[in-house]
Amino acid sequence: MFEWSWPWAFLLLPLPLLVRWLPPRTQPRAALKVPELESWQTLASDHAASPLRQRWQWLLPALIWCALVTALARPQIIGERVELPQSGRDLMLAVDISQSMSLEDMQWQGRTVDRLNVVKDVLDDFITQRRGDRLGLILFGSQAYLQSPLTFDTETVRTFMREAAIGLAGKQTAIGDAIGLTIKRLQNNPQDSRVMILLTDGANTAGEVEPLRAADLAEQAGVKIYTIGLGAEVMEVSSFFGTRQVNPSRDLDEPTLRRIAQQTGGAFFRARNSDELRQIYALIDELEPTPKDPQTLRPRRSLYHWPLAAAVLLGLMLTLQQAGALRFRSQA
């Protein structure tokens, strides 16, 4: 559909005529007569008296003025109304990238890989299925960093998650700081859509805020936290005395993660392998959406540059026409 942004601009079209019809101000002028110029004035008046030149003298300026007013009115083409997909869920993903996430105790596609690579693979599918939701990403180690604010651009969140590297935020684990940063980013959102998914494989060993104190603040702010404890429970290691089994998740602070989830109205999950982690994210994916008013968008394509370019071209033609008239007078 074609429309004008500022149609009132066309009220300016008769402005040059109004200026021309204004009565001239009479002022005494000094006159200097030069007999030698009389012949030049006669030739110039004869040249200007031709009908074609008289027509061009007012036609080009009129066209330039019309083109400028048309550009000022901002013509544009408006496309069909497009409804933006929304489910009303705002999810902040907080992922541990401390040094312990490099431990190779997870099975993925028949081979043993480190914990962070499994998280990347599972989150890649999870984020893909969340189109229409707003997702954010926090990476934490010794410090917590906002890698991506809440956005509908899930592809960007996926890219940031793929590029996450172990130790990027430090070697220790600041669970409380990650929760505090999430509260800061979600506190202005609708209360029913403040959701955090916290994934870690250890205990809080760094940061300025204790996890349980951060959970109190999250409860007051209405932030629901789902906690995921990651790591296998049995792992075989080789030593000088042979092979023995160890628990690679002995540092995981399950009681604190459970209490954080209970206090904020979320849930605690335990992921010992990639399949369990995938099932956990499938359960979280079943969160009831918060209804919101649908948002629509009508794409607009501005066309003002076309009449503006026409005004510039006509102005150039007028300049050349006046230059030709002056050259004729000088030759005469």
Q: Tell me what pLDDT residue 218 has.
A: 92
Pure H helices in the chain? 15-21, 38-48, 51-72, 115-128, 154-162, 175-186, 211-221, 254-264, 274-284, 305-331
Tell how far CA 329 is from the center of its chain: 61
Tell how far CA 45 is from the center of its chain: 63
Tokens of 113: 């890989």
- Entry pTM: 0.60
One domain, residues 321 and 225: no
In the chain, which stretches have pLDDT less than 70? Answer: 23-57, 82-88, 234-248, 287-295, 324-332
Neighbours of 193 (CB within 10 A): 21
Cα distance between residue 153 and residue 159, in whole Å: 10
Q: What is the DSSP string of 33-47?
A: --GGGHHHHHHHHHH
Specify if 27 maps to a domain: no
Q: How many domains is the chain built from?
A: 2
Domain that includes residue 201, residue range: 87-284
One domain, residues 116 and 227: yes
Q: Helix count (H) and strand count (E) of the chain?
A: 10, 15
One domain, residues 139 and 274: yes
Domain boundary among the residues 284, 307, 324 is at 284
pLDDT, averaged across the chain: 79
Specify if 21 maps to a domain: no
Question: Taking CA 48 as the corner, what is the angle to CA 28 and CA 331, rounded to the nearest 5 degrees?
Answer: 100
Q: Tell me what pLDDT residue 120 has.
A: 87
One domain, residues 201 and 310: no
Q: Tell me what pLDDT residue 262 has.
A: 93
One domain, residues 316 and 177: no
